Chains A and B, each alone.
Chain A
């Protein structure tokens, strides 16, 4: 999506983070699908790193240059180190992002507005043992985890462990166990772009609207109109502009000079925004056309 983001995407939840300066900044909580996608990418990278280290060693072992035992030992060590510290390392050096998170444009931030500390990053990543690797072990090698336990006990503990793994699906902020332990939230990296000011350019056609005409609409309609005007140059814009202009003319009972749809909407937008912003300064917001005028 480029430019104006009129509404958060479907299913997205906003969360205010109050900065130390006391200004609340709104972040969109990352979607579960993005989290999963980022995690899968990271798993791929982890596998890639491990393979890149182990395969050459295995080749050496195959040609009798190194002992097989030694290669096995190094492989196990590498797997452990990469698995345990990959996430913490990247989140520390990339400010809450891993390669997967960067690709999906999400990042971990402190849920209470403070700086993202090293402890928080370490805490949220050490718990992956509980969330992922333990359920996987329970799933594929239950006998190693609970030697001699009866089948129902294995099943029950498996369900319990899966519950931790799927915790993000059960709360609105998509917090996993690590987020709870560390007090972090994963949000979408903000990316809005500043476009030109629609009301800054002098209108081609000076049109006069009366206050009664301008009071027909509220802020919601103003921002819908902004969305239409910013769509200039995209497919379907002409049709949308024609429909909206006709609707506005009808609603205002417009009897002024007949101008083309584009300039007419530009002028109306500038006039409506001026009117609504002036009311805003006096503390009289008008949310939409249904709002009672006070």
Chain B
């Protein structure tokens, strides 16, 4: 080589020729991606949309080539940045919310629930053990009721209340505004928060989730014992079950999701711990989100239906009907046919 690297030679730089050849496509992609970032995928016309993957892959290959041949920092940075933006535009979420909800309710949620069968069994068992314990202890000594049930939650009900006032709660007549207030205040918001908490504290190693499930069972058992002791057992379950079927299922589902996360954290098995946590966390969050929807339904039943319908047989019929629908939906939804 003679060492004559004049200005004329510079125009024949491989990297400059490479850039001149590809720059049009980069600019075109940049323009499309810019519009997607502002207005979503719908900002593009069908032909533009069809061109997007091609331009994206072309730019990715430009990036690989540039890394090998170019020392122009600006071009490298630009390609890196453009590829990143295009990657986000191409692989970002683009589902329509309504479509995603339908898919979620009909297929994804029931499938996720079935995938957590064992966790669900453990969660139900924990609640059942809590319930039996609460029932047995409160039956033996009524004063223990106060140890299990928070006074704010009991709303004045307890061993000290008269049988008549206990019965009144089960068959209360309320006006519309009060109904909605009860619904949003305690029934939905309170329960859904407990449920989400059971899911989230799964990250703290599943123990708090198990405790929450157990203590939830204790409360239930204590109430059961209180009412059964006054000869109101049949009325109590008729009062509880119409919404309880949905609500207790939702609590158990949230608990199962929390247990699954705790398990992924404590016992990763053969998977890398964080990778396993990420995979199971996503599945579990589907269960938790579905449970929030169930809490909403339970809150509606509890706040409105129960206050309007007082016939015990109807209450039982509705409870078992709902249970049938709920469980068959969870057991079969989204199964492949044939």
When distances are taken between beta carbons in the complex, the residues of chain B under 8 Å from A121 are 93
- With A77-B189, A275-B5 known as contacts, the answer to whether A95 contacts B93 (CB < 8 A) is yes
Contact of A194 among B3, B74, B92, B283 (CB under 8 A): B74
A258 within 8 A of B: no
Cβ A4 vs Cβ B5 within 8 A: no
- With A23-B83, A130-B197, A203-B6 known as contacts, the answer to whether A123 contacts B100 (CB < 8 A) is no
When distances are taken between beta carbons in the complex, the residues of chain B under 8 Å from A276 are 71
Mark out the residues of chain B between 284 and 312 whose CB falls within 8 Å of any chain A CB in the assembled complex.
Answer: 284-286, 288-289, 292
Contact of B14 among A183, A210, A281 (CB under 8 A): A281
Q: Compute how far the CA of A52 lies from the CA of B251 in the bound complex, rounded to whole angstroms.
A: 32
Mark out the residues of chain A between 105 and 149 whose CB falls within 8 Å of any chain B CB in the assembled complex.
Answer: 107, 109-112, 114-123, 126-127, 129-131, 134, 147
Cβ B5 vs Cβ A208 within 8 A: yes
Closest A residue to B91 using CB positions: A115
Closest A residue to B273 using CB positions: A180
A-B contact count (CB 8 A): 266
Q: Compute how far the CA of A147 lies from the CA of B6 in the bound complex, rounded to whole angstroms.
A: 83
Interface 0/1 of B9-21, CB less than 8 Å to A: 1110111100110
Cβ B286 vs Cβ A111 within 8 A: no
**How many residues from A make CB contacts under 8 Å with B?**
96
Interface 0/1 of B85-123, CB less than 8 Å to A: 101110111110100100010000000000000000000
A206 within 8 A of B: yes
Contact of A182 among B23, B199, B278 (CB under 8 A): B278
Chain A binder among B57-65, B154-162, B219-227 = B57-65
- With A25-B80, A183-B279, A199-B13 known as contacts, the answer to whether A107 contacts B88 (CB < 8 A) is yes
Cβ B283 vs Cβ A119 within 8 A: yes
When distances are taken between beta carbons in the complex, the residues of chain B under 8 Å from A20 are 91
Cβ A115 vs Cβ B16 within 8 A: no
Q: Compute how far the CA of A25 lies from the CA of B292 in the bound complex, rounded to whole angstroms.
A: 37
When distances are taken between beta carbons in the complex, the residues of chain B under 8 Å from A53 are none
Mark out the residues of chain B between 44 and 90 whose CB falls within 8 Å of any chain A CB in the assembled complex.
Answer: 57, 60-61, 63-64, 68-75, 77-78, 80-85, 87-89
Among B1, B13, B72, B286: residue with most chain A CB under 10 A: B72
Q: Compute how far the CA of A119 lies from the CA of B70 in the bound complex, rounded to whole angstroms.
A: 40
Q: Compute how far the CA of A214 lies from the CA of B178 in the bound complex, rounded to whole angstroms.
A: 85
When distances are taken between beta carbons in the complex, the residues of chain B under 8 Å from A189 are 85
Cβ A164 vs Cβ B10 within 8 A: no
Cβ B92 vs Cβ A96 within 8 A: yes
Mark out the residues of chain B between 14 and 40 whose CB falls within 8 Å of any chain A CB in the assembled complex.
Answer: 14-16, 19-20, 23, 26-27, 30, 40
- With A195-B74, A270-B7 known as contacts, the answer to whether A277 contacts B88 (CB < 8 A) is no
When distances are taken between beta carbons in the complex, the residues of chain B under 8 Å from A274 are 5, 9-10, 13
Q: Compute how far the CA of A25 lies from the CA of B97 in the bound complex, rounded to whole angstroms.
A: 29
Cβ B71 vs Cβ A203 within 8 A: no
- With A21-B57, A96-B92, A199-B72 known as contacts, the answer to whether A27 contacts B84 (CB < 8 A) is yes
Cβ B277 vs Cβ A3 within 8 A: no
When distances are taken between beta carbons in the complex, the residues of chain B under 8 Å from A205 are 7
Mark out the residues of chain A between 53 and 102 whose CB falls within 8 Å of any chain B CB in the assembled complex.
Answer: 67, 69-70, 72-74, 76-77, 80, 84, 89, 91-93, 95-96
When distances are taken between beta carbons in the complex, the residues of chain A under 8 Å from B286 are 119, 122
Q: Compute how far the CA of A4 lies from the CA of B78 in the bound complex, rounded to whole angstroms.
A: 8
B145 within 8 A of A: no
When distances are taken between beta carbons in the complex, the residues of chain B under 8 Å from A27 are 84
B177 within 8 A of A: yes
Chain A binder among B180-188, B236-244, B317-325, B327-335 = B180-188
Interface 0/1 of B176-209, CB less than 8 Å to A: 0110110111001100110011011101100000
Q: Compute how far the CA of A84 lies from the CA of B204 in the bound complex, rounded to whole angstroms.
A: 20
B150 within 8 A of A: yes
- With A126-B285, A164-B204, A181-B285 known as contacts, the answer to whether A23 contacts B14 (CB < 8 A) is no
27 A-B residue pairs with CB within 8 Å:
A19-B91, A20-B91, A21-B57, A25-B63, A72-B181, A76-B185, A84-B192, A92-B93, A92-B95, A122-B285, A126-B196, A129-B196, A131-B200, A134-B200, A164-B204, A182-B282, A183-B275, A190-B85, A192-B77, A195-B78, A202-B11, A203-B10, A208-B6, A230-B74, A267-B7, A277-B15, A281-B14
Q: A147-B150, A199-B72, A226-B72 are known contacts; what are 6 more A-B pairs with Cβ within 8 Å?
A: A4-B74, A27-B84, A74-B184, A95-B93, A131-B200, A180-B281
Among all A-B residue pairs, the 9 with the closest Cβ atoms: A183-B278, A203-B7, A181-B281, A123-B285, A95-B92, A130-B200, A270-B10, A190-B81, A192-B81
